[in-house]
Structure 1
C-alpha cells in the first residue's frame, strides 16, 4: 500500500514538473517570437510611395512647453512626412501627467506650428495616458475629419506594439519609426528592445487571457 502510494506521488510530481517545464518553454518561445516581431518591425521602412491621410504622433514626455528629445524626434519625423507630401495632416495625442501642465498633444501642436505647419492641418486629442488610449481616443477624431488611413509615428521598437493595438482597434494603419532615436547606443537599444518585447508579450497575454475567460463564461 505504501509503495503504491509512493509511486502515485512520484508520478504526480513527474507530471507536475513536466507541465511546469513545458509551460516555461512555451513562455520562452512566445517571448522569443515577440522579440523577433519587435526587431523586424523596428527595422522596417515605410514603403517609398505610401501616402496616408494623416500621421499620428504617439505621445511622449514633455517638459513644460517643450517636447522631450524622444517626443521631438517623433514630431520632426511626422513633419518630414508632411513636408514630403506623404501625409495630409498631423494628429497629436497625449495628456498630461500632472495637472496644470501643458498636455503632450498641445506641446506637439505648438512645436509643429513653429515649424510652419498650418493650423488647419493639425488635429489633436489631449486625454490619453498610454499607447492604447492614444489610438483609441483618436478614433472619433479620425471619423469626424474623414481620415481613413494613418501612419503611426513613434520610436522604431515601439512600432510593433502600436501596430498590433491599431489592428485590434480596427484602424487602417502603417507605422514609421523615427530615423534617429535616443536609444541608438547598443546598450540602450538592447534594453529598449527587451522592454518593448516584454510589453508586447504582456499585451498578448492579457488579450489571450480575456479570450479564455470569455470562453469559460460562455461555456
Structure 2
C-alpha cells in the first residue's frame, strides 16, 4: 500500500511539473515577435459582436493595420467564418474595420469559411499562393502564438510570429486562463493531428 501511495504522489508531482512546463513554454514563446518585412500579415479570427470585431479581435486587426501602414507587409489576410448569431463573418468584420482605418480593400484578402485556428491557416494557404504571397506574419494574441506557429509549421507556411502588443489579455487571471487553455491545445497539437 505504501508503494502505491508513493507512486500516486510521484505521478501527481510529475503531472504538475509537466503542466507548469507547458504553461511556461506558452509564456516564453509569447514574447517572440517579428515585425517583418513579410509579404502579408495573416490575422487569426476571433469573436464578432453583431457586425463588429470583439475587443480582442480588434486589437489583432489593429496590429496588422499598423504593420501595413509601416510598410512591413504589403497585404493583410483576414480569416474567420460565421459564428452563431453573427451577421457577418469574422473575416468580413475585420476587413470592414481595416478599410475604415484606411487600408485599401484591394490589399485585403478574405478567408471566410474557417472556424478554428487550424482552419484559419489551412484555408489561408491557397489564398496566399493565389496572391503570390510567400512570407507571412501570423497575428494573434501572445498566448496563442505557440500553437499558431506549430500549425503554420505543420502546413509548411513560411511564417514568423507577430503577436499583438496591445492584447486584451493583460490581467493576470485572464492571461493565465488563456495560457493554460493554449498549453493544453499545444500539447494536443504536438502529439496528435488535431490542432
TM-score (norm 1): 0.80
User: Which consecutive unaligned segments of at least 5 residues does structure 2 have?
Assistant: none
Runs of 4+ in 1 over 3 A off after TM superposition: 20-33
Shift of 1:201: 1.7
Counterpart pick for 1:148 among 134, 137, 145: 134
Equivalent-residue separation in structure 2 for 1:77 and 1:104 (angstroms): 16
CA RMSD of aligned residues (A): 2.4
1:128 aligns with 2:111: no
Structure whose alpha-carbon radius of gyration is higher? 1
Q: Tell me which protein shows more helix as a share of its residues.
A: 1
User: Does structure 2 conserve the Cα–Cα contact (< 8 Å) formed by 1:155 and 1:181?
Assistant: yes
Distance 1:196 1:37 in 2: 10
2-structure distance, mates of 1:30, 1:203: 16
Partners in 2 of 1:74 and 1:99 — Cα distance? Answer: 21
Cα distance, 1:22 vs structure 2: 7.1
Question: Offset of 1:32 from its aligned partner?
Answer: 3.4
Aligned mates of 1:204, 1:77 — CA distance in 2: 28
Which of 26, 45, 51 is the aligned partner of 2:37? 51
2:149 equivalent among 163, 166, 179: 163
Distance 2:13 2:106 in 1: 53
For residues 24-173 of structure 1, the aligned pairs below 5 Å read 27-46=15-34, 50-98=36-84, 101-173=87-159
Kindly provide the CA deviation profile for residues 74-110 of structure 1, in whole angstroms up to 9, marking residues without a partner as x: 0000000000010110000000123772000000011
- Give aligned pairs, total: 194
Unmatched segments (≥5 aa) in structure 1: 1-9, 210-219
TM-score (norm 2): 0.89
Contact map agreement 2:33 2:162 (CA 8 A) in 1: yes
Structure 2 match to 1:182:
168
